[in-house]
Structure 1
Amino acid sequence: MSPTKKAVWGWAMYDWANSAFAVTIMSGFFPVFFKQYWSAGVDVNLSTARLGVGNAVAGMLVALAAPVLGAVADRGSARKRFLAFFAYLGVVSSLSLFFVGQGQWILAATVYVLGVIGFSGSIVFYDAMLPVVADENEVDVVSSLGYSMGYLGGGLLFLINVLMVMMPHRFGLADAGQAVQVGFFTVGLWWGGFTLFILFWVPEPSAPKSDATPSGIWIGGFAQLKATFKRIRHMKTVFLFLCAYWLYIDGVDTIIRMAVDYGMSIGFAANDLLLALLITQFVGFPAALVFGRLGKRWGPRRGIYIAIGVYAAATCFGVTMTRKEEFYILAIIIGLVQGGIQALSRSYYARLIPADKPAEFYGFYNMLGKFAVIIGPLLVGGAGLLMRHVLMPDNPTAADMARVGSQAARWSIASVLILFVAGAVLLYFVDEEKGRAQAARLEG
């Protein structure tokens, strides 16, 4: 079935739907609320470490499951069913955060982990549906359209939620804390409602008749997974790209998830940080579309390199900033490239894999992305705790603790720079033409 505009828009609307969770909860309110409400009174570096562990646990669970689920979904033509399961797991988790009480950081972290599993798990199948709605000539543009819709949709809901926090009485709410809790609830409603577009508008290729029974689907899926492990070991181009992606997307995802927490650790006000995040969303909407056009004109690899360079420079800038205006500048810089590097990585990978096994290969793609999320937050949290121990004087005063906490946070975010440099070096050795040839031989 040839791609249609309705299918393209239905596919892109899922980014509009799930980005509400990514922005309002993962990047925005959850880090703030976790530090100020669920972990109130705890040292800033300890709360950062707790948040890092939560992200790492969620990433590990999704990473272990993604390749198996991708293989099974390909065999059973069940991508939309799996997407719906994980999406609505995330929806229920988002709604549930509304009911978690003050000081219940373990329960909050558990519900959050389930939400991240739902979000990340659904992305495996969302990405695998990209080749269904876009051919090779349009894959960069369509991939970027998805991210741009995510920035716009996530940004619009986040704008409403930020206004609720800043002016709670205008919305009939008691205070900013209640506004944040209601914000969690609105994410669940938004995500659940707009997911219906991809479920109803995007077609799914039929499964082979031999895979029609449930047992055949799972047995065939595990056999296909085993075969894919063997293929990837001998597909040097795919293997190198996945290693490069693993490193640089680790830096991207870690900054997305930990930026607000970092800003709070070095003394910025929560409202200023939420405003900066909002700026990133609305800058990211047109920037992602521009990157899609650049990828089509110059090639996605060159666009990825541009984005990595900007991220490396932004990381260095972030380590030295001291004023909130600098955080706003950083938000603009990140917004220019965040959607672009994600979109072009996804579309570049589509050129390197067999066309008839997208969910299976995107399972590995997302697996590495999630394993990267395990390393990044732990790196940031661990580096902060280590430097706090090294820098803290004996018998510290309150001023010493605040100063050392800020310095340790800066060292922790600086560690992310290593990942961008290493990823760029590995990407240099990826041979796209060889990858296309290998993928063509494995089709069928």
Structure 2
Amino acid sequence: MTGIADLAPLARAREQKAWYWYDWANSAYYTTVLSVMFAPYMIEVAGNAAGCPDNLDDAATCGNTVDVLGLHLAAGSLPFYLTSFATIFSAFLLPIVGAMVDRSAHKKRHMAFFAWAGAACASLLFFLKDDDWQIGAIAIVLSSILAGCSVISYSAILVDISTEAERDRVSSRGWAFGYLGGGILLAINLAMFLGHDAIGLSSSMAVRLSLLSAAIWWAAFTIIPFVKLSDHPPVGSLEIKGNVFDRSFGQLWRTLKDLRNYPVTLTFLAAYLFFNDGIQTVIYAASTYGSKQLGFGDSVLIGTILLIQFVAFGGALLFGRLAQRYGGYRPILYGTYAWIVIVVAAFFLPAKNVPLFLLVAIAIGLVLGGTQALSRSFYSLLIPRGREGEYFALYNACERGTSWLGTLVFAVMFQLTDSYRPAILALIVFFAVGALLLLRVDPERGIREAGNRVPANVVG
């Protein structure tokens, strides 16, 4: 008898459901801490240390400085310098982590270790208060670096638990789950912050509890994938030798040289760096544009942040369905076109028109989750088997290394024109260049060059 049922799809489905939970877990850190709560609160605490007046409405406008390792940094710029430092340091570390992950049969252990270490560091943000900014500075740098390390392992696991044909669906559901989890905790924390007087909390304590809740959420929900994921043996991984410098930049340089053997992968990576930088800048600038240019108050902006978060949940699922029918490449390309339309619409938005502002926010949410989710899964098809950690380390290191370009263009355009409208419009360049590079990508050729099987929807 040879007609024995193939149980592999059921096993993969169980692992995929467990894998989704890490997106749910770490999204709380990225939304509550990095995107919303940390920067304004750190500016306030650093402003206290710098001696900014108590009656100043916005500590970011105070020119006083704090001493960071002998450097005198403006209190209003401190959180951005800290995240920039974490980004630069990650460029040293991520290639080592990626190569280590490729050689390991215990990817889930690496993911969980980095996650729990990052959550432990993030929990120290609870002690960020009064004028004690130093502990917060250390905590945000370490937790940000460790979060990036955990994502390397997490992304590499995607290849172990899904076939080429399943990759878009699994990645999209993971992103959707992450947006839902991050949005739920953010909604709870924003409600606590807005109603802090009613529940007997100071605004400072409400923020500190919110930061702590994200760390606890991150650590607690990481237990699920750690327990339910299985170990998978490494496939054709390469050994790396040398000192720390050689194993970081040396490994990164070897991976970059190896990319010459995969020109389609290189082209897609270049396209991703441009359109993703545009996406991150739009998200970063949305609240500033809404408040300073369009004149909306905090209640509208907070509602918009939550709206984008929850619409992105549906958007990721929608793009996943489209990818099942058309493959991941075409939805990414058309999503890039949609970003161009969104930026143009934002440029023409009239001031204080809430319905139109929310309509643009809905459009942002729809394409936000989808383009990011499918970029991850499509990229996984373009990299050689057994080197997922190495190539995803490059993916993250390069993404972080160029993430300042969009914000720089936005800032320079505002300085030149004294208006946020041309500043937001200038971001079209990033999406246009990304789209032009995407048009040069041949999905079928790239997947074959990487040694992977071409899903039927890509050929169709």
Q: What TM-score do the two structures reach when normalised by structure 2?
A: 0.81
C-alpha distance 175-432 of structure 1, shift in aligned 2 (>3 A):
same
Residue 205 of structure 1 pairs with residue 232 of structure 2: yes
Count of equivalent residues: 421
Amino acid at match of 2:14: K
Residue 237 of structure 1 pairs with residue 248 of structure 2: no
Amino acid at match of 1:230: K
User: Could you tell me which residue of structure 2 aligns to residue 186 of structure 1?
Assistant: 213
State the shift of 1:32 in Å. Answer: 3.9
State the shift of 1:262 in Å. Answer: 4.5
Q: Among residues 239, 247, 263, which one is paired with 2:274 in the alignment?
A: 247
User: Could you tell me which residue of structure 2 aligns to residue 398 of structure 1?
Assistant: none
Q: Distance in 1 between matches of 2:153 and 2:302?
A: 30
Describe how 1:27-426 pairs up with structure 2 within 5 A.
27-34=35-42, 38-39=46-47, 40-43=58-61, 50-102=78-130, 108-170=136-198, 172-207=199-234, 227-266=254-293, 267-321=295-349, 322-323=351-352, 325=354, 326-384=356-414, 387=415, 390=416, 404=418, 407=419, 409-426=420-437
Q: Among residues 19, 27, 30, which one is paired with 2:27 in the alignment?
A: 19
| Structure ranking higher in helix proportion | 1
Maintained 8 Å contact 1:131/1:350:
yes
Maintained 8 Å contact 2:192/2:206:
yes
Q: Distance in 2 between matches of 1:109 and 1:144?
A: 33
After superposition, give the CA deviation of every residue in 1:343-363 in whole Å (9 maximum; x if it has no partner): 110111111111222111111
Maintained 8 Å contact 2:110/2:150:
yes
Amino acid at match of 1:323: K
C-alpha distance 415-58 of structure 1, shift in aligned 2 (>3 A):
farther
Amino acid at match of 2:352: R
Maintained 8 Å contact 2:235/2:385:
no
After superposition, give the CA deviation of every residue in 1:201-232 in whole Å (9 maximum; x if it has no partner): 112322489999x9899999778766533321
Maintained 8 Å contact 1:59/1:373:
no
337-346 or 65-74, which deviates more: 65-74
State the shift of 1:259 in Å. Answer: 3.0
State the shift of 1:244 in Å. Answer: 0.6
After superposition, give the CA deviation of every residue in 1:110-153 in whole Å (9 maximum; x if it has no partner): 53333322222221221111111111111111000001101111
Q: Distance in 2 between matches of 1:209 and 1:127?
A: 18
State the shift of 1:106 in Å. Answer: 6.5
User: Could you tell me which residue of structure 1 aligns to residue 69 of structure 2?
Assistant: none
Maintained 8 Å contact 2:234/2:386:
no
Amino acid at match of 1:343: A
Q: What TM-score do the two structures reach when normalised by structure 1?
A: 0.84
305-314 or 100-109, which deviates more: 100-109
C-alpha distance 262-83 of structure 1, shift in aligned 2 (>3 A):
farther
C-alpha distance 33-319 of structure 1, shift in aligned 2 (>3 A):
farther
Q: Distance in 1 between matches of 2:138 and 2:87?
A: 13
DSSP 3-state at the match of 1:42: helix
After superposition, give the CA deviation of every residue in 1:340-386 in whole Å (9 maximum; x if it has no partner): 001110111111111222111111111222123233334444554xx
Maintained 8 Å contact 1:280/1:335:
yes
Maintained 8 Å contact 1:31/1:260:
no
After superposition, give the CA deviation of every residue in 1:263-314 in whole Å (9 maximum; x if it has no partner): 4444533333222111111111122111101011112111112221222222
Q: Among residues 1, 7, 19, which one is paired with 2:15 in the alignment?
A: 7
DSSP 3-state at the match of 1:80: helix
C-alpha distance 82-256 of structure 1, shift in aligned 2 (>3 A):
farther
Amino acid at match of 1:28: V
- Ranges of 4+ aligned residues in structure 1 off by more than 6 Å: 44-48, 208-212, 214-224
Percentage of identical aligned residues: 31
User: Could you tell me which residue of structure 1 aligns to residue 441 of structure 2?
Assistant: 430
Maintained 8 Å contact 2:196/2:203:
yes
Amino acid at match of 2:260: R
DSSP 3-state at the match of 1:195: helix
State the shift of 1:191 in Å. Answer: 0.5
Q: Distance in 2 between matches of 1:324 and 1:90?
A: 41
63-72 or 266-275, which deviates more: 266-275
Amino acid at match of 2:431: F
DSSP 3-state at the match of 1:20: helix
Amino acid at match of 1:433: E
Q: Distance in 2 between matches of 1:247 and 1:185?
A: 34
Maintained 8 Å contact 2:95/2:247:
no
Amino acid at match of 2:271: A
After superposition, give the CA deviation of every residue in 1:134-186 in whole Å (9 maximum; x if it has no partner): 1111111100000110111111111111111222245x342333222211111
Q: Distance in 2 between matches of 1:210 and 1:252?
A: 33
Structure 1: 5+ residue stretches without partners: 392-403
After superposition, give the CA deviation of every residue in 1:407-433 in whole Å (9 maximum; x if it has no partner): 2x4444443322111111111111122
Maintained 8 Å contact 1:53/1:377:
no
| Larger RCO, structures 1/2 (Cα 8 Å, 6+ apart) | 1
Q: Distance in 1 between matches of 2:59 and 2:245?
A: 51
State the shift of 1:19 in Å. Answer: 0.7
DSSP 3-state at the match of 2:88: helix
C-alpha distance 122-270 of structure 1, shift in aligned 2 (>3 A):
farther
C-alpha distance 57-259 of structure 1, shift in aligned 2 (>3 A):
farther
DSSP 3-state at the match of 2:21: helix
